[in-house]
């Protein structure tokens, strides 16, 4: 369209420039500060040009802090969250879309409801449940009076106990209990041509064969999108890994980074070291975004539709 909209284009360019400055400014300052020494920062404050202490600071992060171990934890949590979420959501959505499940829509609604109340809101009681995953069974036994019976027969009531706190499984499981993935795959399955199943059945493919040979290859882009989305979600979690890990060796990198700042009042924190930590902790997800941007954007759009 040929049209003169110079004033608008000028304003729009300025807006985009400011937006990028808002995003990049803090990241740039993080980078420059991580290249200064503590003494330099105390004398000059925040500066816009780089210094030469970057590697010193990064080496200190790797040798003096637990960030390396915690990065490994973050990796386990993020990959675990992403893989398990992808697999479980895929098969759940498959079951709900391609089978005439009774109460199917109710099950789907119950899965979807998880989006409304994020983990951060229900952290107190989720923590209690994680401290003994089998507590619902105990409660059930108590309520039904079964335990009274057992106590009479065997002399003592049964109390199961299995804590998943301070384990990788415990860090991952509550993150997987989320409906976005199922929603995303369901939306994708619903727009597939209806004759797909018919044709597959006519060719003699059963449900399992259909799942692996037809649906799985078709879903590859959705998998990629969901994987990137959940990986980033797992890596950037804060509150849950903070409470679910009781030893520093079990914490994730983001939690470790937040613990680098001293809690004492009146002491100027070693900001160059902390900023070097922030660079180290954020580099993996940022590289991932740069490389897999396409999938991230698709994942964000799909998770909304």
Sites for another protein among residues 269-288 (CB under 8 A):
269, 271, 274-275, 278, 281-282, 285-286, 288
Q: In the range 38-97, which residues lie near another protein by CB under 8 A?
A: 41-42, 45-46, 88-89, 91-92, 94-97
Phi, psi of 219 (to 5 degrees): -90, 5
Which ranges in 155-270 belong to alpha helices (H)? 168-176, 180-190, 195-202, 207-210, 216-218, 220-236, 239-244, 253-258
Q: In the range 93-122, which residues lie near another protein by CB under 8 A?
A: 94-101, 105, 107, 110-111, 114, 116-122
Q: In the range 207-246, which residues lie near another protein by CB under 8 A?
A: 207-208, 210, 232, 235-239, 242-243
Q: How far is the CB of 236 from another protein (least distance, A)?
A: 4
Report if residue 291 touches another protein, rule: CB under 8 A.
Answer: no
Report if residue 195 touches another protein, rule: CB under 8 A.
Answer: yes
Q: How far is CA 106 from CA 51, 109, 113, 240, in A?
A: 59, 5, 10, 28
Q: How far is the CB of 224 from another protein (least distance, A)?
A: 15
- Of 100 and 153, nearer to another protein (C-beta) is 100
- Binding segment for another protein among 51-59, 146-154, 172-180, 215-223 (CB under 8 A)? 172-180
Report if residue 294 touches another protein, rule: CB under 8 A.
Answer: no
Report if residue 15 touches another protein, rule: CB under 8 A.
Answer: yes
Rounded to 10 degrees, what is the CA torsion of 196, 202, 204, 209? 10
In 3-state terms, what secondary structure has residue 203? coil
CB 126 within 8 A of CB 175: no
CB 78 within 8 A of CB 235: yes
Report if residue 140 touches another protein, rule: CB under 8 A.
Answer: no
CB 253 within 8 A of CB 267: no
């Amino acid at each position: 369209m040929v049209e003169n909209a110079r004033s608008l284009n000028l304003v729009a360019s300025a807006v985009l420039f400011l937006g990028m400055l808002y995003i990049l400014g803090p990241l740039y300052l993080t980078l420059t500060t991580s290249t200064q020494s503590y003494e330099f920062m105390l004398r000059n404050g925040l500066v816009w040009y780089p210094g030469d202490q970057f590697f010193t600071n990064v080496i200190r992060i790797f040798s003096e802090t637990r960030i390396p171990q915690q990065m490994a934890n973050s990796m386990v949590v993020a990959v675990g969250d992403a893989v398990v979420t992808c697999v479980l959501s895929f098969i759940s959505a498959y079951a709900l879309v391609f089978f005439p499940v009774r109460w199917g829509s109710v099950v789907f609604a119950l899965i979807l409801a998880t989006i409304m109340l994020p983990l951060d809101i229900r952290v107190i009681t989720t923590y209690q449940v994680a401290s003994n995953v089998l507590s619902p069974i105990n409660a059930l036994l108590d309520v039904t009076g079964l335990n009274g019976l057992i106590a009479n027969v065997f002399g003592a009531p049964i109390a199961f106990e299995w804590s998943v706190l301070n384990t990788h499984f415990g860090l991952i499981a509550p993150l997987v209990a989320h409906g976005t993935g199922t929603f995303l795959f369901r939306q994708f399955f619903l727009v597939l041509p209806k004759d797909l199943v018919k044709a597959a059945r006519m060719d003699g493919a059963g449900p399992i064969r259909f799942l692996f040979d037809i649906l799985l290859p078709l879903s590859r882009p959705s998998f990629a999108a969901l994987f990137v989305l959940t990986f980033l979600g797992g890596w950037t979690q804060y509150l849950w890994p903070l409470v679910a890990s009781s030893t520093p060796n079990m914490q994730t990198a983001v939690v470790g980074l937040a613990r680098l700042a001293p809690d004492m009042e009146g002491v100027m924190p070693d900001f160059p070291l902390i900023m070097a930590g922030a660079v180290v902790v954020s580099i993996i997800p940022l590289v991932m975004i740069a490389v897999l941007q396409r999938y991230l954007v698709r994942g964000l759009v799909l998770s909304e539709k």
